[in-house]
């Protein structure tokens, strides 16, 4: 097994010497290195390979180590070789200094900040000596750290940014995970990142830069475009374990049809050394020869920092236009993508997610962090909605702008403050609903901790707790064999003594959901000994075990559906091809569904991300027990909720999406006055459209930004209804920039909106 680095590994200093640097010797050694590497890469049988070998022999003949004056003649021979120019058809390598630094990895938190400081001061010193050196750098968070810790260095960086040599890229707060964050979390990455780069450097990033993440959601192209980004660079899919991704430069089409120009550096690395091997791999590995004649070469030590060195720059300078090698051009992301876009009519298109066939275990490992992430996303969602509504209902309420910015980049106190403004801090108990549909659910009754109440709460609003009666009384019956029969007028289920489901019957549809001779809710333990990284890959007091829960269901379908950010997608349930079976463990968010015509079964959860649906067996990954890098990962007590939901018709018509939201965004208790009337701020008249976000606009106090998306995969017209005093409504992008050409039409019924499948719409509401 290839394990994570040993954090306790020690090194001993074997030798220390005081030396004087000799630039002539260094230049000569670099000449020898590059020429010998050309021989190795091209071979003696090639004309240029043989010429390189011949030149090296001549250099050895004229070079006398005891006579430094001979070095210049040897260097001149090398210079003559390197100066023989390329033809116009040669591939162009766009060389950009790069220093990928993991913001969180196997070192203390503050070490990341020190790594940024050390790496970037090295870059600045190199820029002072090399006027054509260009460096790209992502992650606004790391810039913020350096600004706080090393203000002098930060001032120098700002100057080189003005000169166009130290180039902030990416447009996000950090290089985030591409699978697990919610759609709104992803949008906030771009909102916070782009605003930071604009405020600090006066720039807007046109490219999304994500070289090292474990997969890429099919909604990323739409999110990029909505954030003013049209280009995308990454590299990680070269790590695929089974299939070789067929392109390096292509158009990536997202779930809604949005397209971005995408480039994978063919050298298959974001930390190249400027060696001949790197340049030749860039040409040989290019899978789009004939379509794209330009590629990125990102050079510099990465992951743990370090960045480019003078040696790397010297290597690349020698071969910037040398016959037999690609042309090397000190370049910028803008120049690279401009060249690629010039020939974009020739490029192929890849539609849907970019799935990394590796690190599948990362969907499940560190379950407490996954749970905390989902809960924080839900909490921030509710804080912003409650705060926005409180702002409209109570003019003395102060919307917590700065605190929320910090949190997106303690939350219960903010929610309490917003609830206080909403409910006037009365002595009665009410219920707050942060979702855009009416809910009829069980909550804790104000009569006591053991008392429950069935309440009805309007969409995006509040209501006093008023107990209602169910249409059918729930019955629970113990049977002779010890099993429990439960029925509520919708479902009839039999639970065995071991907790498995013997039967799950949808009454009105007259359909049994559990397969014959099988049990649902089966806990299954797998041996889990990966080939590569223990905590990341899939092949609790347990060691190297993987706990899953299975539901064999009476449904036959070639595809299962999984929720992703702002939508859903289908993946095969069979293993026909290598592309199919490489997805033995996939990621999804709040729900997955397996349906045939007029019947299906959905699996819902409140904090899990790893799924598998093979044939008719639906599986949710619960816990893993890797031993590296964290020997205690996932040990201890865990709390999580999952639900199985048989349904008639399609999952869209059965409101699976809404029920999954209900599970993840529980009704919240709120103090209110005794005479409080039920109140709703917003509703949407189409079940296909989800009102995902309500927040105060970043730069316009008293205005709201609302974000909606089409969730069914259909074209639909919807009306956003509101009781708030909206004076104007404008379409805006995800950076909250108003589009003056696109006012939203306000009618007596509300704001009329048109959606294409999976489209995300942001509105600026002026109150």
How does pLDDT run across 518-530, given as a tens digit for each residue?
Answer: 999 999 988 766 6
Q: Are residues 150 and 46 located together in one domain of the fold?
A: no
Please check whether residue 676 lies inside any domain of the structure: no
Q: Evaluate whether 77 touches 84 at the Cβ level (below 8 Å).
A: no
Lowest mean pLDDT segment, chosen from 186-190, 381-385, 398-402: 398-402
Known catalytic membership, residue 321: no
Q: Is 601 in the same domain as 483?
A: yes
Shared-domain flag, residues 78 and 97: no
Query: Looking at the predicted structure, is the pLDDT value of residue 151 above 60?
Result: yes
Of 37, 54, 82, the last residue of a domain is: 82
With respect to residue 451, please indicate whether it lies within any of the assigned structural domains.
no
Question: pTM of this prediction?
Answer: 0.94
**Each residue of 333-365: pLDDT tens digit?**
999 999 999 999 999 999 999 999 988 888 888
Q: Answer yes or no: do 711 and 658 share one domain.
A: no
Least confident of 152-166, 178-192, 405-419: 405-419
Looking at the structure, do residues 659 and 687 belong to the same domain, yes or no?
no
Classify residue 153: in a domain, yes or no: yes
CA distance 151 to 180: 34
Same domain for 302 and 212, yes or no, is: yes
Within a 10 A sphere around the Cβ of 352, how many other Cβ atoms? 14
Cβ 236 vs Cβ 178: under 8 Å: no
- Angle, helices 47-62/23-42, rounded to nearest 10 degrees: 150
**Residue 153 lies in domain:** 92-358
Look up the CATH number of the domain holding residue 495. Answer: 2.70.98.30
Compute the average pLDDT of residues 66-74: 93
Among 243, 244, 246, CA closest to 581? 243
Note whether 621 and 639 are same-domain residues.
Answer: yes
398 burial via Cβ count (<10 Å: 0-12, 13-18, 19+):
exposed
Dump pLDDT digits (tens) for 86-122. Answer: 988 999 999 999 999 999 888 888 999 999 999 999 9
Flag whether 537 is in a domain: yes
In Å, what is the CA distance from 563 to each residue of 170, 553, 622? 26, 19, 17
391 lies in a domain?
no
Least Cα distance to 504 among 313, 644, 653 occurs for 644
| 626 and 740 belong to one structural domain | no
- How high is the pLDDT of residue 420? 65
CATH of the domain at 218: 3.20.110.10
Q: Quick one: 635 and 718 in the same domain?
A: no
- Reading the block at residue 387, the tokens are 């705060």
Q: How far apart are CA 455 and CA 441, in angstroms?
A: 6
Strand ranges, E, within 649-702: 668-672, 679-680, 682-684, 689-696
Q: Are residue 101 and residue 72 in the same domain, yes or no?
A: no
Question: For the residues 409-417, what does the mean pLDDT come to?
Answer: 61
Neighbour-count burial for 595-634, b at 16+ CB within 10 Å, e otherwise = beeebbbbbbbbbbbbbbbeebbbbbbbbbbbebbeeebb
Rounding to the nearest 10 degrees, give the CA dihedral for residues 362, 367, 369, 375: 120
Question: Which of 24, 88, 212, 673 is labelled catalytic?
Answer: 212
Quick one: average pLDDT of 447-457?
Answer: 82
pLDDT tens-place string over residues 676-707: 889 999 999 999 999 999 999 999 888 999 99
Q: Do 76 and 98 share a structural domain?
A: no
Q: Is residue 442 situated within a structural domain?
A: no
Asked if the model's pLDDT at residue 425 lies above 80, the reply is no
pLDDT at 424: 54
Q: How many domains does the chain have?
A: 4
Q: Say whether pLDDT at 564 is over 80.
A: yes
- pLDDT for 448 equals 66
Task: Give the C-alpha separation, 640 to 158, whole Å.
Answer: 46
Residues 288 and 306 occupy one common structural domain: yes
Task: Specify if 641 maps to a domain.
Answer: yes
pLDDT in tens, 234-267: 999 999 999 999 999 999 999 999 999 999 999 9
> Tokens in use for 235?
């590299």
């Amino acid at each position: 097994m290839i394990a994570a680095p040993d954090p306790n590994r020690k090194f001993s200093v074997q030798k220390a010497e005081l030396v004087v640097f000799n630039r002539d010797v260094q230049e000569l050694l670099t000449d020898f290195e590059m020429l010998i590497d050309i021989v190795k890469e091209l071979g003696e049988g090639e004309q240029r390979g043989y010429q390189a070998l011949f030149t090296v022999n001549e250099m050895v003949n004229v070079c006398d180590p005891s006579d430094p004056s001979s070095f210049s003649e040897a260097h001149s021979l090398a210079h003559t070789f390197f100066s023989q120019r390329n033809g116009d058809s040669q591939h162009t390598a766009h060389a950009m200094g790069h220093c990928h630094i993991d913001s969180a990895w196997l070192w203390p938190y503050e070490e990341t900040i020190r790594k940024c400081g050390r790496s970037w001061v090295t870059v600045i010193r190199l820029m002072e000596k090399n006027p054509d050196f260009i460096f790209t750098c992502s992650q606004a968070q790391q810039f913020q750290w350096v600004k706080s810790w090393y203000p002098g260095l930060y001032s120098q960086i700002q100057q080189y940014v003005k000169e166009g040599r130290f180039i902030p890229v990416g447009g996000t707060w950090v290089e985030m995970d591409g699978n697990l964050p919610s759609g709104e979390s992803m949008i906030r990455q771009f909102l916070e990142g782009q605003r930071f780069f604009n405020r600090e450097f006066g720039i807007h990033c046109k490219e999304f830069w994500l070289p090292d993440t474990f997969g890429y959601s099919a909604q990323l192209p739409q999110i990029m475009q909505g954030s003013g980004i049209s280009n995308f660079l990454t590299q990680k899919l070269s790590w695929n374990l089974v299939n070789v991704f067929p392109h390096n430069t292509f158009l990536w089409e997202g779930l809604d049809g949005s397209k971005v120009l995408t480039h994978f550096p063919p050298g298959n690395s974001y930390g190249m050394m400027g060696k001949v091997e790197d340049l030749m791999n860039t040409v040989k590995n290019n899978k789009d020869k004939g379509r794209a004649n330009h590629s990125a070469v990102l050079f510099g030590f990465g992951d743990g920092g370090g960045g480019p060195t003078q040696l790397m720059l010297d290597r690349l300078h020698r071969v910037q236009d040398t016959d037999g090698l690609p042309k090397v051009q000190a370049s910028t992301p803008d120049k690279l993508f401009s060249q690629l876009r010039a020939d974009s009519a020739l490029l192929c298109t890849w539609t849907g997610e970019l799935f990394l066939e590796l690190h599948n275990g990362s969907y499940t490992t560190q379950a407490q962090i996954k749970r905390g992430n989902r809960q924080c996303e839900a909490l921030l969602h509710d804080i912003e909605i409650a705060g926005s509504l409180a702002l409209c209902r109570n003019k003395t309420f102060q919307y917590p702008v700065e605190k929320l910015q910090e949190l997106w980049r303690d939350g219960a106190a903010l929610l309490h403050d917003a609830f206080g403004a909403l409910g006037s801090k009365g002595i009665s108990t009410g219920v707050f609903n942060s979702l855009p549909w009416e809910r009829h659910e069980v909550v804790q009754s104000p009569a006591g901790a053991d008392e429950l109440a069935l309440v009805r709460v309007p969409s995006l609003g509040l209501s006093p707790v008023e107990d209602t009666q169910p249409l059918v009384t729930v019955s629970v019956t113990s049977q002779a064999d010890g099993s429990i029969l439960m029925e509520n007028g919708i479902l009839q289920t039999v639970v065995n003594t071991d907790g498995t489901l013997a039967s799950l019957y949808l009454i009105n549809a007259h359909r049994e959901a559990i397969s014959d001779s099988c049990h649902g809710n089966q806990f299954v333990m797998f041996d889990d000994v990966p080939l590569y990284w223990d905590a990341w890959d899939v092949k609790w007091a347990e060691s190297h075990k993987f706990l899953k829960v299975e539901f064999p269901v009476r449904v036959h379908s070639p595809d299962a559906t999984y929720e992703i950010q702002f939508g859903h997608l289908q993946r095969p349930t069979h293993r026909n091809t290598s592309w199919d079976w490489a997805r033995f463990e996939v990621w999804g968010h709040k729900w997955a569904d397996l349906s045939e015509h007029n019947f299906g079964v959905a699996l819902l959860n409140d904090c899990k991300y790893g799924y598998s649906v093979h044939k008719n067996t639906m599986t949710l990954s619960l816990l893993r027990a890797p031993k590296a890098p964290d020997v205690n990962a996932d040990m201890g007590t865990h709390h999580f909720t999952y639900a199985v939901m048989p349904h008639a018709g399609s999952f869209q018509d059965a409101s699976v999406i809404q029920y999954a939201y209900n599970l993840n965004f529980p009704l919240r208790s709120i103090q209110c006055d005794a005479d409080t009337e039920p109140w709703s701020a917003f509703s949407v008249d189409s079940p296909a459209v989800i009102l995902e976000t309500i927040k105060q606009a970043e730069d316009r106090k008293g205005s709201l930004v609302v974000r909606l998306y089409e969730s069914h995969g259909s074209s639909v017209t919807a009306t956003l209804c509101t009781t708030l005093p909206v004076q104007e409504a404008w379409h805006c992008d995800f950076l909250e920039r108003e589009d003056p050409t696109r006012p939203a039409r306000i009618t007596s019924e509300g704001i009329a909106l048109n959606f294409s499948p999976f489209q995300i719409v942001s509105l600026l509401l002026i109150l």
